[in-house]
Chain A
Amino acid sequence: MSDVPITPGLLDADFPAPSESRWLEWVATVDHKRIGILYLVTTLFFFCLGGIEALLIRVQLAWPGNSFLSPEMYNQIFTMHGTTMVFLVVVPLLLGLANYLTPLMIGASDMALPRLNAFSFWVFLFGGVLLYFSFVSGHAPSAGWFSYAPLSEKGFSTRYGLDYWALALLGIGVGTIATAINLIVTIVNLRTEGLTIRRLPLFVWMVFVNSFLIIFALPALNASLVMLLIDRQLNAHFFTQLGGGSPILWQHYFWSFGHPEVYIMVLPAFGIISEVIPVFSRKPIFGYGFVAASTVAIALLSIGVWAHHMFAVGLGHAWDYAFGASSLLIAVPTGVKVFNWIATMWGGSIRFTTSMLFAIAFLFTFTIGGLSGVTFATVPIDWQVTDSYYVVAHMHYVLFGGTLFGVMAGIYYWFPKMSGRLLSERWGAVHFWLMFIGFHLTFFIQHFLGLDGMPRRVYTYPDHPGWAMMNLTSTIGAFVIGISVLVLLTNIVVSLRGGEPAGDNPWNAWTLEWATTSPPPEHNFDAVPPVHGPRPLWDLAHPQGERA
């Protein structure tokens, strides 16, 4: 077990006295693999923080009339939970994977702009620290993750929490845009000979489209944030009615970022699924072109649907119907993808590894979340359930049951490449089932809570028939998820120390990252295999050109 090399420094935390230079190596690194690992470790840390916040929320809501958290503290905790999970976990987690994998999958030795890459990470981390520093300043932001005006304005949020929120998100936004630029340039410029755009691994395809979405969406957030800051710091009135400003403008601006953001948070996960399912079904992806092109369709549509977050505002029927229709349209390319994945599995010899289990769970859960999403595009239903637990359930089905399950599939799939060791399948199965059951226990019942009228973001609730039981069930589920995360952490630690050596290509996969050692050397490849199709390693093993 000890003759397998581990990425240098990965186990530093366990050494009694790590030498200074080892730490410096990580701080000063411009290697995309190390930066990718830095992203993953950092987001895992923030994931635990955001998870603890979620558990605090669930404890407070476990029974009616609970006073575990004060209303003030409750508002801060749910705001921090949402902001953390969106900006410090999901997006950077996917960027971290993209960072690690993109150069490897296209046969490059690094990103196109390695120093910019390091800058992106550190400015993101700075943003994260700034956000949490708000607690030290005495008051964390408490206006929800989308900070609607005028609640987020000085008149209602008098303390510094919102300023930290805006500054932190600006930092994170700048880092995210820089990474997107880097990914686009890398994918355009550094693909190896023969790796045409129609042979690109689907994960890279999705990362590519996703980067464009970031380029067009994140600046909208930045513009909104600077206007909010000018309101708060220089007493302007962009979003306060008082001086003729418009709180609705904040909603338009925020959601013209916020809805593309939803797809920024899920497209790379689609990419992961599109890599994992074919490999564990032992079949090439069904309808490669459709999977790739539907991504572009989703990205384009996602720019024109933002006002479906604002049906309750009263924009007028014409607006509502237009945005309702455009939102329904998104279900089409997304449905195309789901059928492609199912068709890929159809008739394949499926290997139920933990990675594949998560991929299948993704299909199942994400489809439920997608369907409840379609109900929201139907304006009258939206009016009925807006701002209720039905929204909370929907959003967690797509973001947790969708993206995060996808990421878990990716972690089990690529961990061997990153560390040189396989994650334990036994621990993995425990992790999967606990997380899957815990997830549905927590969130499925929230659909009914919402339909029954329980509003989101309330710190407590009256003892209506069934509400106590449903909330307690949800809380128990949340703790099951918590335990599953501990199992994941245990699995990572145990497998890093004594996991089964992975070898170059433990899954018999076909894309280029498996053509080098695990972990790859600093320059990635000694020699990049020739590329004549979308599955270079298959072609290499079957020079006669057999398919399947």
Chain B
Amino acid sequence: MKRFDTAKLAMSVFIASEAVFFAFLIAAYVYYYGAVVQGPRASNSLDPPRTLIFTVCLLSSSATLWRAERHLAAAHNRAFRLWLGATILLGALFIFGQALEYTGLIAKSITPARNLFGATFFTLTGFHGLHVLCGLISLSVVLVLAFMRSFGPREISGLGAVSMYWHFVDAVWIVIFSLVYVTVWI
């Protein structure tokens, strides 16, 4: 006797554990925020407007994924694949933005070894980026399966679980963006 959707329930519990993981990384960032008084730190090293553009990409990818889900439920296969593809593209753009930022920072020799800003910044955003990457891989698997015609409305709960993960990763980014970038403006 089944009470909940297995995939979604498992994903919710997994997300709870991931939330704890990020909570500890975020706490480390906050804890060391005041410790860096000279050298590179958020206020003099980051480019919040540019990151805002890529943030918009990531957040809109949540909306496109939601559209994709609706189309899968209605068995609109073409539209489903289209919106799913758009989601992957937007996620990839975000990663591209992050790569841009990282290379810029490293070129200025701002690395985890430089100071505590480097250590906490790269750890926090790096693990977030890793999660986006994992999400992209999962979404790509779904897309490939969809093109092979073996992912239809009956597999909707699988997509549901992946999209829960994707929305979670987006939500974490909202926290990180507010904490790391928005504070630069304040």
Contacts and interface: CB of A to CB of B under 8 A. Distances in A.
A89 B123 CA distance: 31
Contacts of B115: 237, 243-244
A193 B122 CA distance: 50
Interface string B139-181: 0000000000000000000000000000000000000000000
A184 B115 CA distance: 41
B127 A112 contact: no
Contacts of B52: none
A235 interface: yes
A244 B112 contact: no
Contacts of B4: 188-189
A185 B18 contact: no
Contacts of A182: 10
Contacts of A231: 119
Give the residue among B16, B18, B24, B35 with the most A Cβ atoms within 10 A: B24
Contact of A253 (B3, B17, B24, B32): B24
B17 A226 contact: no
Interface in B5-19: 6, 9-10, 13-14, 16-18
Contacts of A238: 28, 116, 119-120, 123
Contacts of A189: 2-4, 6, 9
A216 B16 contact: yes
Interface in A175-204: 177, 180-182, 184-185, 188-193
B13 A181 contact: yes
A113 interface: yes
Interface string B56-83: 0000000000000000000000000000
Contacts of B40: none
A446 B45 CA distance: 56
A112 B20 contact: no
A191 B118 CA distance: 49
Nearest to A186: B6
B36 interface: yes
A548 interface: no
Contacts of A219: 17-18, 20-21, 24
Contacts, number: 100
B17 A236 contact: no
Interface residues on A, range: 35 or more
Nearest to A222: B21
B10 A244 contact: no
Contact of A185 (B10, B24, B120): B10
B112 A181 contact: no
Main secondary structure of the interface of B (DSSP, over half): helix
B13 A113 contact: no
A223 interface: yes
B110 to A, nearest CB: 12
B31 interface: yes
Nearest to B120: A238
A113 B113 CA distance: 41
A249 B29 CA distance: 12
Contacts of A192: 1
Interface in B28-58: 28, 31-32, 35-36
A224 interface: yes
A113 B14 CA distance: 13
Contacts of B1: 190-193
B125 interface: no
B133 interface: no
Given A188-B3, A244-B32, A244-B36, A235 B112 contact: yes
A249 B31 contact: yes
A535 to B, nearest CB: 20
Question: 5 closest pairs, A vs B, by CB?
Answer: A223-B24, A236-B119, A235-B113, A219-B21, A219-B20
Given A227-B28, A230-B112, 10 more contacts: A177-B14, A185-B9, A185-B10, A215-B17, A219-B17, A220-B21, A222-B21, A227-B25, A236-B113, A238-B120
Interface of B: 1-4, 6, 9-10, 13-14, 16-18, 20-21, 24-25, 28, 31-32, 35-36, 111-113, 115-116, 118-120, 122-123, 127
